[in-house]
Amino acid sequence: MSTTKASQSTTATASDENPSVTGAFGSCPLPIFDHPNIVMGHGSGGKLSAELIDKIFVQRFRNPILDRMDDQAVLEIGGMRLAFTTDSFVVTPLFFPGGDIGHLAVNGTVNDLAMCGARPLYLSAAFILEEGLPTQDLARVVESMRDAANAANIQLVTGDTKVVNRGKGDKVFITTTGIGIVDRPTEMSADRAQPGDKVILSGFIGDHGITILSQREHLEFESDLKSDCAPLHSLVEAMLNEAEANGNIKGIRCMRDPTRGGVATVLNEIARKSHVGMRLHESSIPVRESVRGACEVLGLDPLYVANEGKLLAVVAPQIADQLIVRMRKHPLGTESQIIGEITGQPRDMVLMKTSIGGTRVVDVLFGEQMPRIC
């Protein structure tokens, strides 16, 4: 992420830059958004989400930091670069093999900080509890959060609790917000991919999404399947150390964790922001047999299934092999692979060479594949 100098005055110009948004709002009820009501797909992480975020939020709050649309803001305060990120967690069920909503809430925010090269420092947590929630469940969730925070060396320093009437919430929703410090000369952003760069994936995809779905629908695909929920900050640190040792820290162009919308959605975002093409090799993308089998039964594509402990990186070709060697030594990166490369053409698109030798377009998810996965 490049240095983004925030100006307090930029928000004030929103209506000048974009007069139709505020100007027309009084006379025409919905000048810029053609969905009269929110649908589940608006939370999918796919095209509908992007449209909602752009047309309802970004166009109204317009400022240079928000316009970057990265998963975190990097703020310059007093000469320091601080990363700042927030996420609400609404996963159902609360507890699942491999984790729970508390684990997810801490690790999700730790990972969003890590993806811009920040060292996680401080965390806030806001709870919306539904009347009737067993306090023992809440205590379990809070203990998970404590353990996850300790593991990631991030300190929970402030919080809030609200209670809503029975039937007006769903047990517990958690919003975590994190602050981290970017203390290396990294320049990571989704618009920095260049033709020739390699695309790295840190391991098996789809474990989290398929685990949640199996639990929710009481499907029993494989008894050993569990969420990959994990904090990625130390894997990122190892990668930054390796790039620095090779004198090429800027060779790590960008990192993203493919959560909602999966690998396909993140790679499409990078391709579009960098105005490059991308070519993936299906045979090199690690998918467990249990996940592949479940996806076939359910009619899902693992490329679109959520992960909670995996990262994608676009890196300079000169350091790609060294990064893979280093990542495979880390417990969360043992299955790391180069899964593709950046191409000049066709721009803004992700293509995949399939295992049977054909080539297909990997497009962005339109609406809902699996709601409330995180």
- Minimum Å gap between C-beta 270 and a copy of itself is 19
- Buried-exposed string 266-299: b where 16+ CB fall within 10 A, e elsewhere: bbbbbbbbbebbbbbbbeebbbbebbeebbeebe
Q: Does residue 132 touch a copy of itself according to CB under 8 A?
A: yes
Site for a copy of itself in 158-177 (CB under 8 A): 158-165, 167-170, 173, 175, 177
Q: Are 221 and 362 in contact (CB under 8 A)?
A: no
Asked whether the beta carbons of 343 and 278 are under 8 A apart, the reply is yes
User: By CB under 8 A, what part of segment 314-333 binds a copy of itself?
Assistant: none
Q: Which residue has the tokens 């820290």?
A: 249
Contact between 101 and a copy of itself (CB under 8 A)? no
- 143 vs 321 by CB, closer to a copy of itself: 143
Give CA 287 to chain center in angstroms: 19
- Residue selected from 18, 56, 286, 335 as contacting a copy of itself according to rule CB under 8 A: 56
Q: C-alpha distances in angstroms, 15 versus 6, 11, 61, 88, 184?
A: 18, 9, 9, 28, 36
49 lines the binding site for a copy of itself (CB under 8 A): yes
Residues for the chain: how many in total? 374
Q: Is residue 293 within a helix (H) or strand (E), and if so which, with residue range?
A: helix 289-298
Asked if 72 is part of the footprint of a copy of itself (rule: CB under 8 A), the reply reads: yes
User: Judged by CB under 8 A, does residue 366 bind a copy of itself?
Assistant: no
Nearer to a copy of itself, 3 or 155 (CB): 155
- The residue among 40 and 361 lying less far from a copy of itself, judged by its C-beta, is 40
Q: Does 237 contact a copy of itself by CB under 8 A?
A: no
Place of tokens 């579009």: 272
Pairing of the two strands 99-100 and 119-130 = unpaired
Binding of residue 184 to a copy of itself (CB under 8 A):
no
Part of the chain binding a copy of itself (CB under 8 A), chosen from 72-80, 206-214, 235-243, 308-316: 72-80
Residue whose token pair is 């996680």 = 120
Q: Decide if residue 283 touches a copy of itself (CB under 8 A).
A: no
The window from 119-127, 211-219, 264-272, 276-284 that contacts a copy of itself (CB under 8 A) reads 119-127
**Closest approach of a copy of itself to the CB of residue 3, in Å:** 14
- Nearest to a copy of itself of 148, 239 (CB atom): 148
Residue of 110, 128, 249, 254 that binds a copy of itself (CB under 8 A): 128
Per-residue burial over 47-79, b = 16 or more CB atoms within 10 Å of its CB, e = otherwise: bbbbbbeebbebbbebbebbebebbbbbbeeee
Site membership for a copy of itself, residue 18 (CB under 8 A) = no
Residue 119 vs residues 77, 172, 310: alpha-carbon distances, Å: 16, 28, 17
Determine which helix (DSSP H) or strand (DSSP E) holds 352, and give its type and residue range: strand 349-353
Q: Give ∠ CA 68-71-74 in degrees, rounded to 5.
A: 65
Q: Using CB under 8 A, which residues numbered 75 to 94 contact a copy of itself? A: 75, 77-80, 82, 84-90, 92
Q: Indicate the residue among 14 and 349 with the shorter CB distance to a copy of itself.
A: 14
Q: Is 129 in the site for a copy of itself (CB under 8 A)?
A: yes
The residue range among 36-44, 262-270, 315-323, 336-344 that interacts with a copy of itself, by the rule CB under 8 A, is 36-44
Are 276 and 344 contacting, i.e. CB atoms less than 8 angstroms apart?
yes
- Which region among 10-18, 221-229, 267-275, 296-304 touches a copy of itself (by CB under 8 A)? 10-18
Does 40 sit near a copy of itself (CB under 8 A)?
yes
Min dist CB 76 to a copy of itself, Å, is: 11
Among 17, 131, 296, 321, binds a copy of itself (CB under 8 A): 131
Least distance to a copy of itself, CB of residue 85, Å: 6
Is 106:205 a contact under the CB 8 Å cutoff?
no
Nearer to a copy of itself, 138 or 351 (CB): 138
- 57 belongs to the binding site for a copy of itself (CB under 8 A): yes
Q: Can residue 139 be called a binding residue for a copy of itself (CB under 8 A)?
A: yes
Closest CA to 200 of 21, 363, 338, 37: 338
- How many Å separate Cα 97 from the centre of its chain? 21
**Distance separating alpha carbons of residues 359 and 209, to the nearest angstrom:** 26
